[in-house]
Chain A
Amino acid sequence: MDVYQGSNHMRRKIANAVMLGLAGLATALAILLLFSVLGYVLIQGGSAINLDFFTQLPKPVGEPGGGMANAIVGTLILLGIASLIALPIGIGAGIYLAELGSGRLGTTVRFVTDVLTGIPSITIGIFAYTLLVLPMRSFSTLAGGFALAIIMIPTVTRATEEMLKLVPSSLREASLALGIPYWKTVLRVVVPAAMGGIVTGATLAVARAGGETAPLLFTAFGNHFWSLSLNRPIAALPLQVFVYAISPYDDWRAQAWAGALVLVGMVLVINLVARFFVRGTRMQ
């Protein structure tokens, strides 16, 4: 009896092996690319990084040493402002879409949000430039944070919506059946149940905004000195990396790598911190 060994069986086995091999190859390539980027940043940046990099201001051309302390702080401030603007708007819009957005307005908001996700970030930079930089007659931290906020809003909105939709309706019903009003049910029962996912979405948005350069070019502009002022130009890591990386000086280019490494490290830390806080919200 060779019912189990017909030609079909052989063909399936071969097809299976080939497809498995192709999928494996694709995976290996994707991982290889990722790790080569990370590895290169680590090697190149690691050799240029030192304590001064975190504590010193940039030195003028020709003087060795110096760091990007102002850019690191600048990026944190910019992300802080962007989060202050984008998180309330994004989470609020996400709650609206998930809980009330089944009508025409909801569909429109969802469509606009998706379009906003795809807009080139340089366009958002021009928008912030026109809206804030021109009237204020100065590049500013505020304009930079505003531009980054616009980039974050759609990500936060859709992540919030998706996470809220994953909350089983039985939880909503349990709360409503206790005589808890709908708005309180959403804020105190549904949103907390989805908090882990919402924070993850917000973290991704912050991480993405942290690496944006184009919208900062003519909003935050960059600054070689310390500035904590909201209405003055401010340094930011991606900007500094950009300027240093295309400069003709070897030590600046090395510092650009160090800046890239710090940027990657910041994204990693933001992720870890967010995960740490989320762990506490869900009872286990």
Chain B
Amino acid sequence: MSIPRPQLAVSAVSTENARSEAKSVEIKDLSAWYGPKLAIEGVTISILPNTVTAIIGPSGCGKSTLVRCINRMHEVVASARVAGKVLLDGEDIYAPGIDPVMVRRRIGMVFQRANPFPTMSIFDNVASGLKLNGLADRRTLPAVVERSLRQAALWEEVKDKLGHAGTALSGGQQQRLCIARALAVEPDVLLMDEPASALDPVATLKIEELMQELKRDYTIVIVTHNMQQAARVSEYTAFMLAGEDRVGRLIEYGETSRIFTNPKDRRTEDYITGRFG
């Protein structure tokens, strides 16, 4: 008897705003290692579609590691390893036979430091995901690029210089360019690993406003060490903390309003009231 291989289809590229539904993400008893070192242990979180979920916690609590496990970027690091399950719309992305490349096409990621491709123009940066995957249709590509840049609230600022270098933009613009690049491949989920921590307050505000727009179409998970930011942008918040053993664990997870006003765990309260971290 053969077990049917799970299929992760890459959705056909549409040029309109209408797109596939945002998807839920369920993290079940997830642990991750770097070589022999356990980094996070036993994390279980259910993330609803079309919400912004913030992962907060002090440095070294494993919040970046957790978010990198959601699109299988964790295993890019040599000797890194994962146990547990991550269900995207009910499908385990760590099941045997699942290609991590396909997972990453459905779960996009934005990094702490804006990292546009230095050899490419603004247009090519946005188009890169489709072009390099051989999914680009020459006729619809300009429309896809425009739609992605509009979604990332960058279109008006760059529409007259699409041929310029992506790296010539300001830091905040570069980060929105990276968001547009991630959106162009039409992911179901968007992961953001401290997307505004290297930006000034004005650029940060733009990114935060953008997230409110984007959650209508996407499920968003944001890692942040900025508690105010988590309170501003998210519906749900997960608080992580590393103990004496320096292994990150989930301390509390729930609606943001409750976590910030009525935390159940003493450590959550200590952290959000600024007693440590």
A→B interface (CB under 8 Å): 102, 168, 170-181, 184-185, 188-189, 192-193, 195, 281-284
Cα–Cα, bound, A192→B132 (Å) = 13
B185 — which chain A residues lie within 8 A by C-beta?
178-179
A184 — which chain B residues lie within 8 A by C-beta?
132-133
A/B interface sample: 24 pairs, CB < 8 A = A102-B78, A168-B115, A173-B76, A173-B115, A174-B111, A174-B115, A176-B73, A176-B104, A177-B71, A177-B109, A178-B105, A178-B108, A178-B133, A178-B185, A179-B103, A179-B133, A180-B128, A180-B129, A181-B101, A193-B117, A282-B119, A283-B120, A283-B121, A284-B168
B106 — which chain A residues lie within 8 A by C-beta?
179
B→A interface (CB under 8 Å): 71, 73, 76, 78, 101-106, 108-109, 111, 113, 115-121, 128-129, 132-133, 164-168, 178, 181-182, 185
Residue of B73, B121, B129, B165 most packed against chain A (CB within 10 A): B129
**Among B78, B108, B116, B164, contact of A177 (Cβ-Cβ < 8 Å):** B108
Known: A173-B111, A180-B101. 9 other contacts (CB 8 A): A170-B111, A174-B181, A178-B185, A180-B132, A180-B133, A189-B132, A282-B118, A283-B118, A283-B167
Residue of A172, A173, A281 most packed against chain B (CB within 10 A): A173
Query: How far is the CB of B176 from the nearest CB of chain A, in Å?
Result: 14
Check if A175 sits within 8 Å of B132, measured CB to CB: yes
Query: How far is the CB of A164 from the nearest CB of chain B, in Å?
Result: 14
The residue of chain B having its C-beta at the shortest distance from the C-beta of A195 within the complex is B119
Cα–Cα, bound, A176→B185 (Å) = 13
Cα–Cα, bound, A185→B115 (Å) = 14
Cα–Cα, bound, A281→B118 (Å) = 10
A282 — which chain B residues lie within 8 A by C-beta?
118-119
**Chain A interface mostly helix, strand, loop or mixed?**
helix
Check if A179 sits within 8 Å of B119, measured CB to CB: no
The residue of chain B having its C-beta at the shortest distance from the C-beta of A168 within the complex is B115
Check if A193 sits within 8 Å of B73, measured CB to CB: no
Cα–Cα, bound, A184→B130 (Å) = 12
Check if A193 sits within 8 Å of B119, measured CB to CB: yes
B119 — which chain A residues lie within 8 A by C-beta?
189, 192-193, 195, 281-283
B105 — which chain A residues lie within 8 A by C-beta?
178-179
A283 — which chain B residues lie within 8 A by C-beta?
118-121, 164-168
Q: Top 8 A-B pairs ranked by shortest CB distance? A: A179-B105, A283-B165, A178-B129, A177-B109, A179-B104, A192-B119, A170-B115, A174-B115
The residue of chain B having its C-beta at the shortest distance from the C-beta of A187 within the complex is B132
The residue of chain A having its C-beta at the shortest distance from the C-beta of B73 within the complex is A177
Cα–Cα, bound, A176→B76 (Å) = 9
A189 — which chain B residues lie within 8 A by C-beta?
117, 119, 128, 132
A185 — which chain B residues lie within 8 A by C-beta?
132
Residue of A168, A174, A181, A282 most packed against chain B (CB within 10 A): A174
Query: How far is the CB of B139 from the nearest CB of chain A, in Å?
Result: 22
Residue of B109, B111, B117, B120 most packed against chain A (CB within 10 A): B117
Check if B111 sits within 8 Å of A179, measured CB to CB: no
Cα–Cα, bound, A192→B104 (Å) = 22
Query: How far is the CB of B251 from the nearest CB of chain A, in Å?
Result: 27
A180 — which chain B residues lie within 8 A by C-beta?
101, 128-129, 132-133
Cα–Cα, bound, A192→B105 (Å) = 22
Query: How far is the CB of A178 from the nearest CB of chain B, in Å?
Result: 4
B102 — which chain A residues lie within 8 A by C-beta?
179
B108 — which chain A residues lie within 8 A by C-beta?
177-178
The residue of chain B having its C-beta at the shortest distance from the C-beta of A192 within the complex is B119
Cα–Cα, bound, A172→B119 (Å) = 13
A174 — which chain B residues lie within 8 A by C-beta?
111, 115-117, 178, 181
B178 — which chain A residues lie within 8 A by C-beta?
174
Cα–Cα, bound, A102→B78 (Å) = 10
Residue of A170, A175, A177 most packed against chain B (CB within 10 A): A177
Residue of B101, B105, B111, B133 most packed against chain A (CB within 10 A): B101
Query: How far is the CB of B62 from the nearest CB of chain A, in Å?
Result: 18
The residue of chain B having its C-beta at the shortest distance from the C-beta of A182 within the complex is B101
Cα–Cα, bound, A177→B182 (Å) = 8
A178 — which chain B residues lie within 8 A by C-beta?
104-105, 108, 128-129, 132-133, 181-182, 185
A281 — which chain B residues lie within 8 A by C-beta?
119
Query: How far is the CB of A226 from the nearest CB of chain B, in Å?
Result: 42
Cα–Cα, bound, A189→B117 (Å) = 7
Query: How far is the CB of B38 from the nearest CB of chain A, in Å?
Result: 22
